[in-house]
Amino acid sequence: MPKKIIAANWKMNNDEYSSKKLTFDFLKHLSKSNNENVLKILAVPFPFLNTVSKMCDGVDSVKVASQNCSSYDMGAYTGEVSANMLSSISINFSLVGHSERREIFMEKDEDILDKVRLLLENKISPIFCCGESINARKKGMHLDHIEKQMRNSIFKLDASEFKKLVIAYEPIWAIGTGETASINDIDEMHNHIRNLIKSNYSSSLSNSISLLYGGSVKPNNAKEIFDIKNVNGGLIGGASLNAKDFIDIVNSIN
């Protein structure tokens, strides 16, 4: 069975003080109602990874993730952060291929695959993000778009590597816009991704991969989304910057 996961993506928000306070408030709420069966992941900015990781130390159902990593192993790449560096401070997960990285920083599928492989080599689980633009959706090309993203990157892994991934589907047009894909849209895409994994690998591997949904998930719509058969959790953006809202979302998953 896939692991149930609720991941927070803080993006480029908060200074050191507000990051500590948000973590403290999250852990305070968590101590009152902690669903041990749900893995909670906090994807925080690079400068605060060590601080937040130490604050969460000892809480087994909480892990800390980076929001990105370099596609290079090491060397003269000023400003880059390697998977090895992340591993050295015991980071367990990393986002990779987020639409903002693809759209703003022009990351290609080849770059994303390089990052995935380096993360796996350093025993860090990649949270692979995929999603389509509003144009692809309107043209009815959304299913083909996601398949192409996967075939050009993670489907080049062997099964022993692929099984260590988490996959997050985020329609680009629903990220931070207040728009949410319909229940039918989400169900269709998550079922499509599950079937793609099955056809490329096996039924058993497909049924073991956690598929997350992201895109304006809030406390008032989370339960309906998480009740969809192939949705195993969420990647939460704006709502994760409020500890109470994030905990309410965590508690929405059965």
Question: Does the active-site annotation cover 145?
Answer: no
Question: What confidence tens digit (pLDDT) does each residue in 213-225 have?
Answer: 998 899 999 999 9
Report in angstroms the alpha-carbon separations of 100 from 45, 70, 85, 116, 237.
14, 15, 23, 17, 12
Answer yes or no: are the C-beta atoms of 163 and 209 closer than 8 Å.
Answer: yes
**Residue 121 pLDDT:** 98
Pick the CATH number of 4-250 from 2.60.40.1890, 3.20.20.70, 3.30.43.10, 3.90.226.10: 3.20.20.70
Classified as helix, coil or strand, 125 is: strand
Report the range out of 27-31, 134-138, 145-149 with the highest average pLDDT: 145-149
- Return the higher-pLDDT residue of 134 and 227: 227
Answer for the pair 109, 153: CB distance below 8 angstroms, yes or no.
Answer: yes
Question: Any idea which of 67-71, 83-87, 174-178, 232-236 has the lowest mean pLDDT?
Answer: 174-178
> Sorting pLDDT into bands at 50, 70 and 90, what band is 147?
very high
Quote the mean pLDDT of the chain. 95
Predicted local distance difference test score (pLDDT) of residue 45: 98
Domain ranges for the chain, please list them: 4-250
> pTM for this one?
0.96
The answer to whether 98 is a known catalytic residue is yes
**Residue 31 above 80 pLDDT?**
no
- Please indicate whether residue 14 or residue 177 has the higher confidence score (pLDDT): 14
> Among the listed ranges 21-35, 192-206, 208-222, which one has the minimum average pLDDT value?
21-35
Q: Which residue has the tokens 């599950």?
A: 194
Query: Stretch 89-95: mean pLDDT, rounded?
Result: 97
pLDDT above 70: percentage of residues in the chain: 100
Return the SS3 of 114. helix
pLDDT of 75 higher than 80: yes
pLDDT of residue 57: 95
For tokens 């929001």, name the residue.
67
- Tell me the pLDDT tens digit for each residue of 159-189: 999 999 999 999 998 877 777 789 999 999 9
Write down the catalytic residue from 98, 142, 145, 190.
98
Tokens of 23: 């973590």
Query: What confidence score (pLDDT) does residue 152 get?
Result: 98
Instruction: Give the up-direction half-sphere exposure of residue 14: CA atoms within 13 A in the CB hemisphere.
Output: 23
| Residue from 100, 107, 132, 170 carrying the catalytic annotation | 170
166 in Cβ contact with 93 (< 8 Å) = yes
Pick from 96, 21, 29, 25: nearest CA to 251? 29
> Is the predicted pLDDT of residue 250 greater than 90, yes or no?
yes
